């Protein structure tokens, strides 16, 4: 797909801004932002200033326009795929429909390898394999695993529980067709960011409770896990920090049909009655994120149930940082840590022991 001239200009301008000396970037960003004993990273503050200047928003207005804006925004801040990764398209059956997916394979990676079934973020309404192409290829290359990025159905065309059903179908497909994907069926993880983190938690719960094949590892990046409670972080960070209180309400309004029980574990996995026996988890939160507190509450719930959990709060970052590796350095540092955790979580114990 040809990138429009306006987007190429905006991307070049963003790169120039982030290449400026730190004092000039601080001048552009303004005074440091400190909330709840944390200081916002300069890279994040510069990004938010550029977002404000461009007028871009997340989860506002008409759905088609919101989707277009997110696609364009990702081309500006994370438009290039990581080198040394090849792709092929995969079709996944899901009930009466089929899903498209992209398989990312680092060059030279032997078979069978670990595999991450990846669910993109975007509030179950926006986002796609395209918006998360850079993130998926980055994780594949730096974690040394294959990544299957899934195009699950979006609301409002397909509201809850369609995305959850698709996410489960994608994991089952990956496990059943592991050999065709070059993967080890015993080393398949599920992972995703934001709404994708929600779907990750749901798949881990559903597969464990049914007693069938379950993921070996779960990667939860600033996940949404509870639709029933407004926590303190939503009040602290619900304005002017990328994901807003208003946009969260907008996403919920499109994804959750009226009359739905919001305590349903397929919607609010934090509220499941039993979390024991779930796969080991790496939970990442962002300090300046409305979802921070519920993600950390989920990590504590897993730990209390005896699940092996590592919790990492990137206290100086904002929601969505997985998709910002194309600018600055701080976002790449955080995502490199995520990739390291994924590499460790899917390590081949037969060769490392």
Longest Cα–Cα distance of the chain, Å, equals 56
Q: Which of 107, 109, 106, 131 is nearest to 119 (CA)?
A: 131
Say whether 172 is catalytic.
no
Q: How far apart are CA 216 and CA 279, in angstroms?
A: 6
State how far Cα 15 lies from the chain centre: 23
C-alpha angle with apex 204: 201 to 207, nearest 5 degrees?
A: 145
Q: Are the beta carbons of 243 and 318 closer than 8 angstroms?
A: yes
Q: Are the beta carbons of 318 and 288 closer than 8 angstroms?
A: yes
Q: Are the beta carbons of 153 and 185 closer than 8 angstroms?
A: no
Say whether 319 is catalytic.
yes
Neighbours of 331 (CB within 10 A): 25
The kind and range of the H/E element at 218 are: strand 217-221
Among residues 94, 128, 194, 268, which one is catalytic? Answer: 194
DSSP H helix total and E strand total for the chain: 13, 10
Q: How far apart are CA 106 and CA 85, in angstroms?
A: 4
Among residues 165, 268, 319, 323, which one is catalytic? Answer: 319
Q: How far apart are CA 281 and CA 293, in angstroms?
A: 17
Residues serving a catalytic function are 194, 289, 319
């Amino acid at each position: 797909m040809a990138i429009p001239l306006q987007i190429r200009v905006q991307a070049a301008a963003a790169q120039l801004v982030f290449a400026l000396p730190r004092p000039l970037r601080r001048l552009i960003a303004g005074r440091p932002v400190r909330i709840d004993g944390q200081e916002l990273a300069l890279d994040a503050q510069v990004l938010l200033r550029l977002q404000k200047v461009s007028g871009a928003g997340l989860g506002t207005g008409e759905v088609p326009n919101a989707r277009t804006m997110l696609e364009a925004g990702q081309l500006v801040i994370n438009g290039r795929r990581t080198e040394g990764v090849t792709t092929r398209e995969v079709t996944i059956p899901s009930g009466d429909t089929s899903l498209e997916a992209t398989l990312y394979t680092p060059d030279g990676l032997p078979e069978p390898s670990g595999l991450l079934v990846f669910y993109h973020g975007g509030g179950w309404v926006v986002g796609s394999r395209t918006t998360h192409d850079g993130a998926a290829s980055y994780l594949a290359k730096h974690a040394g695993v294959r990544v299957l990025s899934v195009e699950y159905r979006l609301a409002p065309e397909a509201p809850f529980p369609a995305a959850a059903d698709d996410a489960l179908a994608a994991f089952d497909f990956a496990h059943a067709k592991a050999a065709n994907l070059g993967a080890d069926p015993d080393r398949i993880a599920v992972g995703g960011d934001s709404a994708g983190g929600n779907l990750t938690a749901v798949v881990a719960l559903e597969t464990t409770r049914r007693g069938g094949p379950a993921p070996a590892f779960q990667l939860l990046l600033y996940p949404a896990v509870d639709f029933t409670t407004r926590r303190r972080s939503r009040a602290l960070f619900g304005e002017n920090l990328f994901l807003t209180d208003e946009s969260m309400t907008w996403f919920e309004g499109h994804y959750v049909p009226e009359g739905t029980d919001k305590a349903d574990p397929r919607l609010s996995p934090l509220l499941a009655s039993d979390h024991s026996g779930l796969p080991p988890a790496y939970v990442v939160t962002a300090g300046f994120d409305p979802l921070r507190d519920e993600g950390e509450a989920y990590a504590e719930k897993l730990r209390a149930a005896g699940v092996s959990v590592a919790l990492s709060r990137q206290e100086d970052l904002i929601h969505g940082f997985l998709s910002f590796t194309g600018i600055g350095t701080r976002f790449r540092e955080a995502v490199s840590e995520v990739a390291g955790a994924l590499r460790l979580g899917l390590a081949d114990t037969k060769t490392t022991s």
